[in-house]
Amino acid sequence: MLFGSVALAAVPDADEGAAARALLEKAVAYYQQQGDKAFAAFSRQGDFVDKDRYVFVVDTHGVMLASGGPSAALIGRDVSEVLGPDLKKAFKDMLKTPSEGVQEAEYRWQNWADGKVERKRVFFQRVGERILAVGYYLPRASADQARALLDKAASALGSDQKQTLNAINSLKGGFLQDDLYVFVVDLKTHRYVAHGTNLRLINTDFGKIRDPEGKPVGEPILALMAKQDQGEYEYRWKNPVTGKVEDKHAYLRKVGDLLVAVGYYSP
């Protein structure tokens, strides 16, 4: 997926955004000098590839003209055909709308570093009949996105507990969003009843959960929630997207006899 008129979360890493935008500005300046001859430079490993950031170019009909990344396989093809149905119309509408200056959007694309489909933010600029773009991956969701997913899970559990627990445990029921996931603990038994990424934890004792360094996690959270209906807790945990142990900030809420939690990771 390339472009989409979707709500944008806060940039988790300003340096990444600045680097992507700088690469786009460099590409636009080069294209303004070289015209379509610039496509050759954009499509090889060189000055217009920076780690997992690369330049790609489409024309106003949606045809891929150049790419320094895995989308090079799409050169010569109408890329609107590979867009998801939710973004296909927005992409085509954007192509029809003349614009000046740099714009930005979010989309989803395969990360050639790990083979996973991940969120990506793109900066793009139209130059005549060409649209030049540079994107970067967003492995970490924002605090606002974590709170929104918690609201969704809590509301769903209040309406239909059994169906919602099944949806969370299906790992594809709308409660797993990149590195964001829901877990649910029965406050009477202290056991997991749902987990968005690790089904092996179901029916295990949450109170005995520790971080990778052995520091208690479950026990202090249970103690905190014994005194209040909602709260927050910080600990260290493995990020399912990056595969690394990172700082995590969890939002906690009671729904009846259940503890519902969603946390976001910070670099």
Q: For the chain (length 267 residues), average pLDDT per consecutive 10?
A: 36 73 96 97 92 90 90 87 58 62 77 69 88 84 91 96 96 83 97 95 97 96 96 92 87 97 89
In this prediction, residue 1 carries a pLDDT of: 36
pLDDT attached to residue 139: 67
Q: Quote the pLDDT of residue 109.
A: 73
Give the pLDDT confidence score for residue 13 in this predicted structure.
Answer: 57
Beta strand spans in the chain (E): 49-50, 53-59, 64-67, 103-110, 117-127, 130-137, 176-177, 180-186, 191-195, 230-238, 245-255, 258-266
- Predicted pLDDT at 67: 94
**Domains with residue ranges and CATH for the chain:** 14-137 (3.30.450.20), 143-266 (3.30.450.20)
Q: Are 195 and 201 in contact (CB under 8 A)?
A: yes
Segment 48-106, tens digit of pLDDT: 998 889 999 998 888 999 999 888 888 999 887 775 555 555 556 666 666 667 888 77
**What one-letter code names the amino acid at 144?**
D
Residue 92 one-letter amino acid: K
